[in-house]
Structure 1
């Protein structure tokens, strides 16, 4: 397979917008609500709380809208693959209707806020499709169209789409949307600050005292006290409810290529076939459109990321006739054991700490919905779908198999990776531009040798729960296969739930 000469390994959303520059937290402070996490869920919650008249401080470990949200595909759709037939069959039509209503209201909220604030977020109203090319999957597609329509969405079964190849069938839902997430969220952040809210970037939260009031401690030792705390860090960095046992991390890859404006697809698309493929376009330079294709779901720490990227690129070339790609990037999300996100109180013993996580790849509509739901709960309102998303729920029958599978996988990594042989017997065996876990003086070390031959060695034990990290050669990062934490070659945290870096190994 011919290796693709990628132009950039940054996302289009990040490259086409300026980096933000909000200050670090430099002194102890107090406020009504602290929001931890500056992605779409955290920013939406902070903005909604400010809208409700509360004083809000948001802390973000890096830059806002530059983590998971900065690497999304940015589809605003209530059609989440085949969720409605599943919810209807397992929980009944009323539950499916609540899910549809909450997601549809989130899309409407983005449209309304965009108009109200005059945001140039490249918002486009388009239909959404879940398609299959397999005759064997037609019954599932028909069932989803029926369940989505029963749930109150403008859904239908179709055999014609805007894709440049035939499909066996598809669910079509009208009046969905796509947008530029960073342009939207940057405007939300500016409006929040304009109305008295506070945003602190490069401020990692490392401690949480769930008292009355609550205290959030940051890595530089400063604190924020508040009556309420929202943890919106994608994967909860404070997890006293042990939600990690009910969350499965997954990573997916993205390739993007310019196409003529006349080849626009006229919608947003997803198929569960071929290890999932998600397709949309966005306004691009010189009047062109940018074709964005996502797929190749895998667990962080998987060994064949480079091959997965080539498979995704080959599929895109074959289906859309593109010859050159402009971008590639990767995204990460978590899926709950019952496929419905966790949004609500963090654990049974708290009345003051809330969480939003487990968006299952649908972070745009669900992130906005989470902001609305959490703001309502903090202000004493119970939306009608609160129970649907409540993190304290547990469906033993529905969740038993996924829980056992997830637990067995983590246990296998926790024990097996300690015994797993490395392709490198010593530090000397690690070639330039590669990384390997090497046992040195009885300890497992994560060793990376850069292109100049310099060795960067850190502890191989993830600082979250101690699983052994693996090297992602395509993205030059260390990844935990248990819960998805990611680290740079210097050990610094790239992605939680870990909030402490890997310790440096000296003298190698």
Structure 2
């Protein structure tokens, strides 16, 4: 299917509606070379910009660096839901972290939500922020059990929820919950406002600046020509090999924005409880109301993304009378093995290097509250959530089965993709606009033939941990099935944890 909003040079080949806006030119904001900053923040998504703004307003001198530009990555591809609940249920958190942990998790989600609303109000941000009711429904007896578990867990931590008699969905269901006070917004309008507030507060911003090498001398961190007392990796996954590669699994999620023939759009956030689940909401984009339908998540590099989009469109057409598909895009997130994000001092790193990762599908709230935790840690202040989300925590039982499963899968991909590879197609049979792993003179090659017939040939070995990348035809990217690194057709890093590009292969 051909849609009418496709570009290259983003996190993926498909443009989200949030990214469908002009780039704002920036003033020359080069850091002063002889200055030692209080903090260097790496990553210009919701976590990085929020943390940078909080620190700058608290009187710290900071510089923020992003390999591409503000909102390039996951924040630019989010479906932009703001919730009082999360993908990890409160009962699941209680089972792993106790009643106090479950209550802290609920409070943290609420604080992240409140922080977004406070910024919207205080900075007078025009970002389409709207409060909406949220519905979660079950279609089978097994899903009803899940729904009852969600209800019970939410009630124990004081999150407002009730059973609903009606849900604004055409999908038949058996039982449903209503969560009042959910919200939605335009994430990049919000992010652009944070950026300008940060610059107005004296912050320094370096876009198109990839931090690849770091050093540490006399208590000062050295990176990208910047010297700083502290560093924050707000890059969704910290770069290079680190412990989180074994504690978080990368997932890809898909979204369509469609025009309905009826002109009637649900005024709510709606979720089913299938596995993988679907979600629906509406948003006015460039003056046109659209229905956003998302889901069908799968591990990055493991399924066929084009089939995922096709299945999502088939699902949408089954229940809604669509006149056109305006946008289709996908985004990436990381699932932590024990259900909670990792936020704080980075394990096995020099003192003063902080990180945040593993938000599951709840990056808007958890990214915001993570920014508050990180800003407090850099400032030497206590934060009541720091212990729960401690990046160095060890929970022997929580998530152990998931830990073993995910890492066994990584080992399998690392070994099997090398020794079971038998691709007989030659480069000559590669069709324009497609990519494939092929074998040339006994060597594996990641090859893409562009619309002009030019072949872009790359070494298919991921520069992060050595796994073999797979072609993502929907986003025109090479995706690593082990830890989620992604590259464009020329081998340039799109998203970490890789920091080095795939090597180009010169054709003779």
Q: Give me the whole-angstrom Cα distance separating, in 1, the residues matched to 2:428 and 2:32.
A: 46
Q: Summarize the alignment of residues 127-206 of structure 1 with structure 2, pairs less than 5 Å apart.
A: 127-206=133-212
Question: Following TM superposition, where does structure 1 have runs of at least 4 consecutive aligned residues deviating by more than 6 angstroms?
Answer: none
Distance 2:163 2:215 in 1: 51
Stretches of structure 1 lacking an aligned partner (at least 5 in a row)? none
Does structure 1 residue 77 correspond to structure 2 residue 74? Answer: no
Q: Tell me the equivalent position of 1:119.
A: 125
Aligned to 2:19: 14
Quote the residue 1:5 is aligned against.
2
Q: 2-side partners of 1:467 and 1:105: how far apart?
A: 39
Between 1:435-444 and 1:454-463, the stretch displaced more is 435-444
- Contact (CA 8 Å) 1:239, 1:346: kept in 2 or not? no
Residue equivalent to 1:96: 102
Q: Paired residue for 1:279?
A: 280
Q: Deviations over 1:379-430 (max 9, x none)?
A: 1222212111111112111222111111111111111111233444433332
Deviations 1:2-36 (A, max 9, x none): xx332223110000454454658587453110000
Query: What is the TM-score with the length of structure 2 in the denominator?
Result: 0.93
What residue in structure 2 maps to residue 403 of structure 1?
Answer: 403
Please tell me whether the aligned partners of residues 42 and 234 of structure 2 are also in contact (alpha carbons under 8 angstroms).
yes
Indicate the SS of the match to 1:93. Answer: helix
Equivalenced residues, count: 499
Listed one character per residue, the Cα deviations across residues 259-284 of structure 1 (whole Å, up to 9, x for unaligned) are 48962322212223152112211123
What pairs up with 1:23-62 in 2 under 5 angstroms?
A: 28=33, 30-62=36-68
For residue 49 of structure 1, report the CA deviation from its aligned partner.
0.8
- Give matches, 1:328-339, under 5 Å: 328-339=328-339
CA distance in structure 2 between the partners assigned to 1:283 and 1:385 by the alignment: 35
Contact 1:424 1:437 in 2 (8 A): no
Is this contact kept in 1: 2:257–2:290, CA < 8 A?
Answer: yes
- 8 Å Cα contact 2:423-2:439 kept in structure 1: no
Q: What is the CA–CA distance in structure 2 between the aligned matches of 1:121 and 1:55, rounded to whole Å?
A: 27
Aligned 8 A contact 2:261 2:322 in 1: no
- Residue correspondence of structure 1 range 288-367 to structure 2 within 5 A: 288-347=288-347, 350-367=350-367
TM-aligned CA deviation for residue 229 of structure 1:
0.5
CA displacement at 1:212 relative to structure 2: 4.4
CA contact (8 A) 1:334 1:358 kept: yes
1:419-498 to 2 correspondence within 5 Å? 419-498=419-498
Whether 2:276 is the aligned partner of 1:268: answer: no
Matches within 5 A, 1:251-266: 251-259=252-260, 263-266=264-267
Counterpart residue number, 2:381: 381
Specify the SS of the correspondent of 1:504.
Answer: coil
1:113-170 per-position Cα deviation (integer Å, ceiling 9, x unaligned): 1111111011001122332222322122112112112112112222422223342223
- CA gap of 1:260–1:189, structure 2 versus 1, over 3 A, is farther
CA distance in 2, matches of 1:131, 1:211: 55
Instruction: Please tell me the root mean square deviation across aligned C-alpha atoms, in Å.
Output: 2.0
CA distance in 2, matches of 1:58, 1:215: 14
Asked if 2 retains the 8 angstrom alpha-carbon contact of 1:160 and 1:169, the reply is no
**What TM-score, normalized by structure 1, do the two folds share?**
0.93
Give the CA deviation at 1:442.
4.4
CA 1:42 to 1:307, structure 2 compared with 1: closer, same or farther past 3 Å? same
Question: Is the 8 Å Cα contact of residues 437 and 445 (structure 1) preserved in structure 2?
Answer: yes
Deviation at 1:302, TM superposition (A): 3.0
Structure 2 stretches lacking a partner, 5+ long: 7-14
**Does the 8 Å CA contact 1:345/1:391 hold for their aligned counterparts?**
yes
Residues 31 and 158 (structure 1), Cα distance of their counterparts in 2 relative to 1, 3 Å cut: same
Structure 1, 361-370 or 21-30: larger mean CA deviation: 21-30
Preserved CA contact (<8 Å) 1:21 1:63 = no
* CA distance in structure 1 between the partners assigned to 2:384 and 2:356 by the alignment: 17
Cα gap change, 1:214 to 1:152, in 2 (>3 Å): farther
Compare 296-305 and 475-484 and name the one that shifted more: 296-305
Deviation of 1:215 (Å)? 2.6
CA distance in structure 1 between the aligned counterparts of 2:374 and 2:176, rounded to whole angstroms: 34
> Residue 349 of structure 1: CA displacement?
5.5
